[in-house]
Amino acid sequence: MISTLPVRGWRLAGLMLLAGGLAALSLPPVHALFLLPVGLMILYRVSEDARSWKQAAWCGFLFGMGFHTVGLYWLTNAILTRVHEFWWVVPFASPGVALLIAPFICVPAILCRVVRPGWRRVLMFAGSWTVMDMGRVFMFSGFPWNPLGSDLELPGFVGDVMIQPASVLGVDGLSLALVLGSLALFRGRRAAVGVLAVSVLWIAAGAWRLSSATPLNIINPRAVLVQGNVPEAEVISHADAVGNFRRYLSLTAQGAQKAFAEGGRSPVVIWPESGFPGLLDEDTLARQMIARAADGAPALIGSDRESGKDWFNSLIAVAPDGSIAAIYDKSRLVPFGEYQPWILPFNVLPGVLTPGSGLKTWDLPGIGRVGPMVCYEIIFSGSVTARNERPNWLVTISNDAWYGNSAGPRQHLATGRMRAVEEGLPVVFANNTGISAIYDATGHETARLGWGRADVLVSDIPSPLPPTLFSRFGRATPLALSILCMILALIPTERKKRDWDMGVYKG
């Protein structure tokens, strides 16, 4: 087979890096959706026309490097918090992570070549892309960041409508639909009209769900979200631990006073990850001070915790009398940040933590049935509630000060919005430096505190919806649809057989 690629060598490498980088601009918070079909089509056509499967794999890898380096550029900010120690790592932060996950995109670039040209290759490419994307949960502790389905989380009502099918398909099903639609746009006028028709039906289905969603008759508490806006350098060094603790207490008192003055629902105070600058489970006086500031409301406080030789990143429920009502230890840890994967002989970020025992559902006075999570855990589609213990709302505490005023906190927040739609549960997102927000069970934002503000947000937590299809079947649905696409691509036809060379169609 004679290669029909218009460029080769370093020009081809540059093209693939550029295509991947441009496709990444479709992600939150930029949402340049028109660039995704362009980037994917370049990868698809280059994979088709490559001289061998090895060249196709190389092009897929370079596309992945461009996509993930641009999409995760903000990881560099985490290194800058300790630049005096790890200055030499700065150029490698986001490219280093991209290097580990870019090979997942090699697979669709290879597999689309083993079936006949046309729709079969499109189906194989889209199906295998989604399967491999879903497979990222098995890398180290998992890194399913920035699935393509999050592209549809546009701001406001438009995004609310577009992401409603996630209640059935999950974010991975949205990814599958986006890849199929992106490639179909370039397969002629009839295919483009088909994409337009499906898009209209998609929007209609989303609008119908939004208008027909009927919450359960469950009254959740009123959230008092405390956002202290403590710089990460102070979080690490505890340089002004007492002053920062007092700031949180002052904001808590303001929020509790407002919440009780409004009447109606009972309030619950929520501090973010790293909110308490010490070991709260060992500090009875600090818990009593928090209880007094909360004026009788229960409080959910982010704190480190020590047990023997183990250290945990925890969410501690403090009762109105200052006692500990419950403790949740983070069970999904951040690779290279909270623990050290075997592939790297050093730990770049401070602290090596121990994972907790797993997800829980608390049922506590004044709080109700809540699913607690810490930071990173909210990104795992289909894995945010304890098995057979559905809560009435989800809370995730975080400290995105690591990543500065970048795309990172916005992408993180987008995962909470998507989990709300998938599970049919309201999500409360409490963050140290922002963005803190509350989403109802359709993913609609009901309250927000912006980036870089020391403030308190008082807002009712919406009621849950009945269990969604996705909450019942989880990722089995998008996985089955992706595998079905691959099977359909492999079904033989009665057309005249053609010559094949090493699994590549010779035309």
436-439 β-sheet, strand order: 362-364, 368-374, 393-398, 427-431, 436-439, 445-449
Q: 59, 106, 112, 375: which is the annotated catalytic residue? A: 375
Q: 106, 330, 338, 422: which is the annotated catalytic residue? A: 330
DSSP labels for 127-148?
HHHHHHHHGGGGSTT----S-G
Cα 198–chain centre separation: 26
Nearest to 353, CA basis, from 313, 297, 407, 393: 313
C-beta separation of 277 from 245 below 8 A: yes
Alpha-carbon distances, residue 274 vs 214, 300, 332, 431 (angstroms): 36, 12, 17, 9
**What is residue 339's DSSP assignment?**
B
Question: Could you give phi then psi for residue 104, rounded to 5 degrees?
Answer: -60, -25
Nearest to 472, CA basis, from 427, 428, 422, 425: 422
Concerning whether 48 is annotated as a catalytic residue, the answer is no
C-beta separation of 452 from 400 below 8 A: no
Q: 48, 153, 232, 273: which is the annotated catalytic residue? A: 273
Name residue 262's amino acid.
E
**Which residues lie closer than 8 Å to 438 by C-beta, 6 or more apart?**
223, 225, 426, 427, 428, 429, 445, 446, 447, 448, 457, 459, 461, 462
| Site of tokens 């090699």 | 106
Nearest to 293, CA basis, from 241, 328, 242, 258: 258
Concerning whether 377 is annotated as a catalytic residue, the answer is no
**Which residues lie closer than 8 Å to 126 by C-beta, 6 or more apart?**
108, 176, 179, 180, 183, 482, 485
Concerning whether 389 is annotated as a catalytic residue, the answer is no
Helix-helix angle 53-71:9-24, to 10 degrees: 40
Nearest to 152, CA basis, from 21, 25, 38, 33: 33
Catalytic sites, residue numbers: 273, 330, 375
